[in-house]
């Protein structure tokens, strides 16, 4: 017992460090996963700016995965009133932002992709500023065969489920690693040449 206290490393501290580190990594990874689409909006069309897959395209198709979070950052290019909305296949608004009309003004919209999403539009200019949304991993709203490019189905495990599994695994493995560490340190301390 005195060795554990004098060494400064207790079993509880070892386990706490492992679990806290894995949870911190999980939250950092989850927050870093929100992909950002950048668009320029003017009456004639939405202009794709980023990522590279949509750069330079007018009304580009946004390819998203059901259950994942995305951001759209768009700039009002022409000083006309615009907003960003997502509609289902029947034209019902699933979400819409406020209208902005100052040239150069930007707006950020965050959403979680869902299978019913079919298109994004400017509700002020719905005939020219309209683009398709291709949803994978959940049935797709605007495209046929939305279960994935290869038509693969199956059960999707949310990313948070993987992090929970890793944390539980570490909770079971960490006592074994700690015991191994104590065994190695204890063996090293006991082997001393006779004097």
Two tokens, residue 88: 């289902």
Residue 56 lies in a domain: yes
Residues 38 and 101 in one domain: yes
CA dihedral angle for residue 121, residue 122, residue 127, residue 131, rounded to 10 degrees: -30
Q: Is residue 178, in this structure, part of any structural domain at all?
A: yes
Among 87-96, 102-111, 161-170, which is the least confidently predicted range? 161-170
Total of domains in the chain: 2
* pLDDT digit string, tens, across residues 53-72: 999 999 999 999 999 999 99
Residue 22 domain boundaries: 2-29+159-190
pLDDT tops 50 at residue 149: no
Q: Is residue 146 part of a domain?
A: no
Identify the three-state secondary structure at position 113.
Answer: coil
Q: What confidence tier does 181 reach under pLDDT thresholds 50, 70, 90?
A: confident
Helix (H) and strand (E) counts in the chain: 3, 9
Q: What is the predicted pLDDT for the residue at 11? A: 55
Give this prediction's pTM: 0.57
Q: Residue with structure tokens 């998203």?
A: 64
């Amino acid at each position: 017992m005195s060795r554990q206290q004098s060494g400064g490393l207790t079993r509880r501290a070892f386990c706490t460090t492992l679990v806290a580190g894995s949870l911190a990594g999980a939250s950092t990874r989850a927050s870093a996963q929100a992909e950002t689409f950048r668009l320029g909006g003017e009456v004639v069309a939405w202009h794709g700016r980023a990522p590279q897959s949509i750069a330079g395209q007018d009304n580009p198709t946004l390819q998203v995965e059901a259950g994942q979070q995305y951001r759209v950052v768009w700039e009002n290019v022409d000083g006309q009133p615009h907003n960003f909305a997502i509609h289902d296949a029947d034209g019902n608004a699933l979400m819409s932002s406020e209208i902005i009309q100052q040239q150069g003004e930007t707006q950020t919209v965050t959403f979680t992709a869902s299978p019913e999403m079919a298109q994004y539009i400017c509700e002020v200019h719905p005939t020219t500023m309209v683009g398709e949304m291709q949803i994978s991993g959940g049935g797709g709203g605007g495209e046929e065969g939305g279960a994935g490019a290869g038509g693969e189905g199956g059960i999707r495990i949310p990313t948070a489920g993987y992090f929970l599994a890793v944390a539980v695994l570490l909770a079971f493995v960490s006592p074994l690693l700690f015991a191994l560490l104590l065994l190695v340190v204890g063996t090293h301390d006991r082997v001393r040449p006779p004097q």
